Amino acid sequence: SQQGEEDPQALSIQEGENATMNCSYKTSINNLQWYRQNSGRGLVHLILIRSNEREKHSGRLRVTLDTSKKSSSLLITASRAADTASYFCATDADDYKLSFGAGTTVTVRA
């Protein structure tokens, strides 16, 4: 079963706008990761946040983690057409398995 669930399922924004998506999970975690997937093929790792961290930045990406609410958010600032993709959160609730949500599909309109 999927540990993480992303919200919303789909998001359409204008180029230059910010995109925010959320991930909720059910059990305690050690780490939470965000991945991007283009065209339904391989995933690309974006960022990893550990359970003792609350916020992390990487370029135009900002990730927050609230372990008390069992939730994380991914913010993409100043979106570009190339950001059009599906975004997945993944948690490591089990010893070594990553559990992926169903993803948020982001469309950036030119």
Partner 1 sequence: GAGVSQSPSNKVTEKGKDVELRCDPISGHTALYWYRQSLGQGLEFLIYFQGNSAPDKSGLPSDRFSAERTGGSVSTLTIQRTQQEDSAVYLCASSSQGIAYEQYFGPGTRLTVT
- Any contact of residue 88 with partner 1 (CB under 8 A)? yes
CB-CB contact of 21 with 106 (8 Å): yes
Q: Which stretch binds partner 1 (CB under 8 A): 11-19, 61-69, 73-81, 95-103?
A: 95-103
Smallest gap, in angstroms, from Cβ of residue 16 to partner 1? Answer: 28
Return the number of the residue (14 or 95) whose C-beta is nearest partner 1. 95
CB of 8 to partner 1, least distance (A): 14
- Token pair for residue 104? 């948020």
Q: Cβ closer to partner 1: 6 or 83? A: 6
- Which residue, 79 or 91, has its beta carbon nearer to partner 1? 91
- Give 3-state DSSP helix, strand, coil % of the chain, rounded to 5: 5, 55, 45
Q: What is the DSSP string of 4-36?
A: -EEE-SEEEEETTS-EEEEEE-SS--SEEEEEE
